[in-house]
């Protein structure tokens, strides 16, 4: 298991799903003080905090909307006040489908939807990286959770606003990777594939099961969907001391789905 030397971490959108999986893996790897950011579900946040405390971690709950830049700044002020410094920052939060008008096809998306997507990804990442530079005096790790296919494909139509926003997030990360390298701070992105207990669970049941069946049938070489723990393991690897020379990169955590050739499915190859 990866052993982390950093003392503190902040993970946005970590009361549920992928963010929660990341928070658990960081604590499992040795993080002693962790800030759990969430936007509205107090029950889920308290449950996550209770489980992390049971593992021996000190947990700071921070209720803040990552589409509101003033609240983002306040989140880092709270971390500074309570922790003094920060070792790891993971930006995972996004608006919930149905709450903000970003989850819509290309022909249905609106300027408001685009604003919500970009604020949650690009604007928040810029503010966060700048804040981290002041809170990471001895080096650190900054990781953005992306969906890299959104910057290359257009087949997931409800991602028409978030896909470009995620691509812009990845570009933002590369610029900060260069800017913060001399401070010993690495900045990377992790791109999960189809992950159970994530945004796909908010889809209608027939859509969820179609995606699950498609992955298990062989579109994903490992014939399964990923889990939040899979993503958390990848984040922990990038946070290790041994990863200090890895920066400005995107790590795919998708069971090999990103290397598949759509015109040549595995079943007809006997795999």
Domain boundaries, the chain: 8-198+229-253
Collapsing DSSP to helix, strand or coil, 50 comes out as helix
d(CA 194, CA 199): 9
The whole-number pLDDT of residue 268 equals: 62
* pLDDT, tens only, 189-243: 999 999 998 878 877 888 889 889 988 988 899 999 999 999 999 999 999 999 9
The whole-number pLDDT of residue 251 equals: 98
* pLDDT, tens only, 47-101: 999 999 999 999 999 999 999 999 999 999 999 999 999 999 999 999 887 656 8
* 146 touches 90 (CB < 8 A): no
What percentage of residues in the chain have a pLDDT greater than 90? 76
- Enumerate residues 6+ apart whose C-beta is below 8 A from 11: 19, 22, 23, 26, 34, 35, 36, 37, 89, 90, 92
The whole-number pLDDT of residue 207 equals: 84
Residue 265: pLDDT band by 50, 70, 90 thresholds? low
* 267 touches 217 (CB < 8 A): yes
Distances in whole angstroms, Cα of residue 80 to Cα of each of 44, 87, 135, 193 = 24, 12, 7, 33
Q: Which CATH class is domain 8-198+229-253?
A: alpha beta
């Amino acid at each position: 298991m990866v052993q982390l030397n950093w003392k503190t971490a902040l993970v946005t959108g970590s009361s549920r799903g992928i963010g929660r999986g990341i928070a658990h893996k960081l604590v499992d790897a040795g993080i002693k003080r962790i800030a759990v950011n969430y936007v509205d579900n107090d029950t889920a946040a308290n449950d996550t905090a209770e489980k992390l405390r049971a593992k021996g971690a000190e947990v700071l709950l921070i209720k803040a909307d990552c589409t509101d830049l003033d609240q983002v700044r306040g989140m880092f002020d709270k971390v500074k006040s309570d922790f003094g410094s920060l070792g790891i920052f993971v930006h995972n939060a996004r608006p919930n489908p149905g709450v903000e008008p970003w989850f819509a096809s290309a022909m249905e998306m609106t300027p408001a939807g685009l604003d919500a997507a970009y604020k949650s990804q690009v604007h928040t990442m810029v503010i966060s990286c700048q804040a981290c530079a002041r809170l990471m005096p001895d080096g650190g790790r900054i990781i953005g959770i992306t969906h890299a296919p959104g910057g290359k494909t257009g087949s997931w139509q409800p991602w028409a606003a978030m896909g470009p926003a995620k691509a812009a997030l990845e570009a933002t990360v590369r610029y900060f990777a260069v800017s913060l390298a001399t401070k010993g701070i690495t900045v990377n992105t992790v791109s999960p594939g189809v992950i159970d207990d994530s945004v796909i669970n908010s889809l209608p049941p027939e859509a969820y099961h179609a995606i699950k069946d498609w992955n298990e049938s062989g579109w994903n070489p490992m014939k399964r969907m990923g889990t939040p723990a899979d993503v958390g393991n990848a984040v922990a690897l990038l946070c290790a001391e041994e990863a200090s020379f890895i920066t400005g990169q995107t790590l795919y955590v998708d069971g090999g789905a990103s290397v598949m050739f759509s015109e040549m499915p595995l079943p007809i190859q006997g795999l």
